Chains A and B, each alone.
Chain A
Amino acid sequence: MAEPLSTVQVQQPSGASQPLAIYAPPPELRREPLVQNERGIGWISDAIAGVAEGKTPLWWWIAFLPSVILMTVCFSMILYLMSVGVGVWGPGHPVMWGWAIINFVWWIGIGHAGTLISAILFLLRQRWRTSINRAAEAMTIFAVMCAGIFPLIHIGRIWFGWWLFPIPNMYGIWPQFRSPLMWDVFAVSTYFTVSLLFWYMGLIPDLAVMRDRATSTLRKFFYGLFSLGWTGSNRHWSNYEKAYLILAGLSTPLVLSVHSIVSMDFSVSQLPGWHTTIFPPYFVAGAVFSGFGMVLTLLVPLRRLLKLEDIITVRHVELMCKVTLATGSIVGYAYAMEFFIAWYSGNPYERYAFINRAVGPYAWGYWIMISCNVITPQLFWFKKVRTNMVLVFILSIFVNIGMWFERFVIVVISLHRDFMPANWGYFRPTWVDILTYMGTFGLFFTFFLLFLRFVPIIAIAEVKGVTPQADPHHPLGGAKGGHH
């Protein structure tokens, strides 16, 4: 037996202290801990809650002010759009959907990572999810909010948007249940509701922590209000765990359904380039890909800025890179398969649609997509890349760009040259398109930055659960008579 890693003093019931040697696990079992530097659970509480409690850092203000300005721009653009007409955007024949739908699908895709991390990884007992699930879920909610704006404002008569909901009315007219847009309304609203509930549920124990730590009456009141009287009793925990499991079970199919249904907006139509059965799985993979891309974009700098490197460790980042690599490869496969099927179908319209993607007037868009979505993730095969935080950050941005262009390719390139050459046209966004899209970043980051300042950005209770101390079999953990 090798040298012990360390020796700790174990107190005997008799009161005597006895040294206990801790040996390293055999190499094949050795894993990097999920919380590094053997941080104690008290430190974890302090570190996470401290983000919301301490003095507002300067960088936060530097990020927040432009975000608020951008958000204002977003709302101004929407006001302008509503007062004049959808014509302030770029669409026209034959590209009737432009940036609005691209942005919608893009944001919805980003919104995928959160629930995937919190639900599917939870069910699959991926304990590493605990460090990132809270932030990812918040990201999901804000991204779905950004996404949800677009289908509403892109319609011609915004004031009748509620007609898409099955609200009983005196005319007895119902929405058209054959339309994928209808399914979209259900899918997205359900997804948003469940994600929000799931996120909030997970927050309750941590909000109670915040309440208990609060120093001002105001904070105490609000944290108290939202923690719903959480005391941390066993009964609470037991109910909580059950509810969490049920919600995770409920959310899991939603992760798959929402983007499948969004993909049906396209695949149910008969436009070459849209009318493909590969879309549902391919969209889900793409969504997870983009979601993880965005999580990386957010968390890689945050762990540094918030000094949470011990909780969101390099191992976490590596794992996320691996998910990105896997889903990115699926997406790349889907691209190849689309081409193959177009050729194999023997349908000249289909063939042309795909050839046009690669060599047509929008070829630049297609090749941006390919390089960002197919080539970029392949770099994650290399550990050196995965562990280089600057590189990961840059590559994650590429993923975001690539996924935006994927939707651009699908929406714009498919539409701009369809069946009849007489209809062919060229689409260009207007400044209103661009500013509205930029504006949603303002909206997103405003919410995200407020989230940072008011809500524990990491699930405190859950992270504690994956520390060695929480493991009764771990030398550091278990009910060994100590207290903390």
Chain B
Amino acid sequence: MSVLTFERKQDGELWSETELHTLLTALNAALGSGDGRGWETGMTEKGDLQFYLLGPLPDQACQLCVSRIGRRYILEDGAGRLLFEHQSLPLVALHAKAAVSSRRWSLVARIALLWCTVRHTIHDKVEPLLIESEEIFLHLAPKLAVFA
């Protein structure tokens, strides 16, 4: 398996305020639990940014890590398991929220998450295809009409 690398964002030395706000808002419940959980930021050898959600004291081991590689956000757990990856940080943050509060999340919330993921996937992949098909149809329709 080859490791995926991406073109780096040109404007990114640090996480933007918006990005941090998105992550911290999603993880607010876990961070506010009062057991010493926290978060930190770091960087890979190549300069890709990482956001770590730390577990409770005294260990404060990484529970979740969101990395930004190019325009893609990678969500992994503390053991390196790839949980989710997407270009949309709010969607990745939603998955991070689900991962830290999995025991408390109801079935309804999980279905909502699945729905959001499907919607984003449709938006990202299927919609461009539909638009392209529509354009081709609009282009060919007058020509076909001549033969009719």
A and B associate: no
